[in-house]
Amino acid sequence: MSNGHFSWVKKDGRQAPLAQPSQLAQRCSFEDLLDYCGQYFEVLFEKEKIEEAWTFEDILEWVAMLRFSLDGTPVPRAFPPTMSVGNPFAQYSLELASLATDCKFYTAFVGAQPTFDCDPQQWQQPMRCETRCSARLACAKAQQVLCCISHSRGNIAIIAHVDHGKTTLVDCLMKQSGMGMKVTERMLDSKDLEAERGITILSKATRISWNGYLFNIVDTPGHADFGGEVERVLSMVDGVVLLVDAVEGPKAQTKFVLQKALKYKDMKPLVVVNKVDRPMHRDPGEVENDIFDIFATMATSDSQLDYPTLYASGKAGFCARTLEEARSENRPTHMLALFETIRDHVPPPRPVAVEQSILDADEKCQGFSMLVTQMDRLPGGLGPTVTGKVYSGQIFKGEKIMCKNIAGEVVGNGKVKEITVVQGVTREPVKRATAGDIVSVSVTGFVPKWTQTLVSHPKVPSIACEAIDPPVLAVRASVNDSPLAGKDGKYITMNSIGERLDKEAVTNPAIEIEVSGQRDYFEIRGRGEMQIGILIEEMRREGYEMTLSPPSVVKTRNEDGTIMEPWEDVTIEVNIEHGSSVIDRMSIRGATVKDMDTKGDRQTLKFDASTQAMLGMRSWLREVTGGTAAVVSEFKEQRPEGPKPPRARNGVLVCNTLGLATPVDLGKVARLGTLFIPSGIEVYPGMIFGQTNDFNDLDTNISRKHDGYESAKGIPPPQEKRLEEALAFIESDEKLEVTPKRIYMRKAILCANERRIVAKAAMKVG
């Protein structure tokens, strides 16, 4: 380089014409550079009479050298002069991306360093620039080439059964990505309840870069009650990592989440057998055979059966390609095998084709479309924020945007307030998003909803959306009317409860909220007792106080007026000694055994059961099996309403006076049943404090004043219930009082005499 000029020597050794940097504006866009290239193409073809076709790589190198000339300083060039297949931009790509402001070509460069792993013969196919070609045409052609061969990005979801190490594995990937993040344990578990219970409740997308590649990784819940989270995010990804415990093997919920993923025929799965460093071992090949059996029954394409299997320990931070390598003394100390397998096996996102008429009408955004997959309200005044994958085109901060429903009707207009991505757990703004990106878009002017599509032009079609399973359980929330109402809560009115529930319904599509005609209660509909329980638990920690009804089944009426109720496919895994008890219990409740499989000391039972029959079953299984049972239920169909299952719960111990529970009284009544509360807490008439040993309720006084000579003897520890356990426990004549400090079960009618009168009247009517 000399005197502000440079010359470029092509592969054939001939010298290209000198560029004049002074002729270029200092702040020119990438498209301007291509236009400048186009002018020199014409000069070159006319002057030099070169008949050979310029390849795509020639254009890229020419633009790189033009950028080199603008500021007079060398640009780091990691690619060789021969432009061999590999990573031709490396460190230079970010500098190049900063220039791409008004260019269709930008999709190749945003947020990552593109690489070109492809067939060299395909790479060498010429992209002709005729003597009168425009740079815009060259730009569009180059974009088409990059869409075919760019492997710079991969969108993947990680799915697993509860406690198989999914979140820990994501922590390890972030730590070893080379991004320099300070990674803490269970870093993506942003909710307090997630950290406390060790489960993932919300799906979360994070972006990590590794060795020039960009991976959008989505962490998904493993519990079936949060299946709505899984169903929503799977449309964003092109591959799934199925994580399976090396000892436990695939579990019931593993099958549930995998089935959701494999419904997409183009989904590329890969399997990671995790926790291979555990002291307990299964026979080699046993877990792998179980996994293949699941794939064989659930795969929707032959290609899904051709999946790679890796062996890892997320906690120890290594991954190997064979079980022998993973258990050897020379096992790896890194996750390189997993990074490389994701790179090689998961295809890059493919933009949806956009009609030429739309491209002409929407020149800047090129037919942008993004399906609303997740709704949030972020701090900082960003307003309604949607997360999803960009299916086509590109979008910029400040651009006008609109929202379409599934039918293709425009239902909202506004502007893009901010575009953000999550790097690790840090949310960072970006200027634009392009096809294949998973981003969050904050909007003004309207509130998007699940199943809707954000578009940049009215001609852009809406995106088809997979329906999620409907809610099957409902709980009614009303104002707390117990004698202790208002003592703990900050938000105690129907209006405040309703506003909070409405916000939840916007961000959580698996939750539905219905208001009663008299507006005296809200009906919360969800997938299961745990999902509803988690929502109420979050609300009470936020300062809400309310009374809840027992869970009921969401029933509908068909065209001929028949009442329909939901039925489910239920899978229960228990130790073999509990199998017969479970079958007896389920049979009594009207369920039908469909399949039974025994492996080792575990038995898998499959039932066809109504949702009504499953009410309270999870709590019973937890008590009978000591917490070793695993239950997964999936909505199957609506059937005509059947008879109500017989009552299976014992009676309850009910307090009949106001005061403080004393250890002496609790000690005396403990022989009559099981206690739910410790001594010293405030109680009131109608409050449930335990369970009897028979089917009869017992009202008694546990807050007497004692002279001090009596002492409590042998009080067993109380079996305190979590919120969802308490919900599953209460019967139709009972309620649940929820405050920031208390979770109390109580009778709907607090006075014992009034309850007896109502019971007698009911017997006469019966």
Please give the distance of CA 410 from its chain centroid, rounded to a whole number. Answer: 27
Of 140-149, 466-475, 665-674, the range with the highest mean pLDDT is 665-674
How far is residue 481 from each of residues 497, 523, 735, measured CA to CA in Å?
14, 17, 11
Stated pTM of the model: 0.71
User: pLDDT tens across 559-578, in order?
Assistant: 888 999 999 999 898 999 99
* Strand runs labelled E in 532-619: 546-548, 552-553, 556-557, 563-575, 592-599, 602-610
Domains of the chain (ranges plus CATH)?
153-345 (3.40.50.300), 356-455 (2.40.30.10), 557-640 (3.30.70.240), 652-763 (2.40.50.250)
Please write down the HEC assignment for all residues of 481-497. Answer: CCCCCCCCCCECCHHHH
Confidence of residue 509 (pLDDT cuts 50, 70, 90): confident
User: pLDDT tens across 663-675, in order?
Assistant: 889 988 998 999 9
CA distance 754 to 204: 50
Per-residue pLDDT at 456: 94
* Strand runs labelled E in 309-409: 309-313, 318-320, 369-371, 374-378, 383-392, 394-396, 400-404
Per-residue pLDDT at 170: 83
User: pLDDT tens across 25-73, in order?
Assistant: 333 444 444 444 444 444 443 333 333 444 444 555 545 444 433 333 3
Beta strand pairing call for 563-575 and 556-557: antiparallel
Per-residue pLDDT at 193: 62
Residues in the chain: 766
Compute the average pLDDT of residues 125-152.
Answer: 35
Beta strand pairing call for 204-210 and 552-553: unpaired
Compute the average pLDDT of residues 406-426.
Answer: 88
Using the predicted structure, report yes or no on whether residue 433 has a pLDDT greater than 70.
Answer: yes
Of 23-27, 279-283, 426-430, the range with the highest mean pLDDT is 426-430
Residues paired with residue 400 on neighbouring β-strands, in sequence order = 415
Element (H, E) at 747: strand 743-747
Confidence of residue 531 (pLDDT cuts 50, 70, 90): confident
How far is residue 408 from each of residues 365, 385, 458, measured CA to CA in Å?
19, 21, 9
User: pLDDT tens across 206-241, in order?
Assistant: 888 887 788 888 887 756 666 666 777 888 899 999
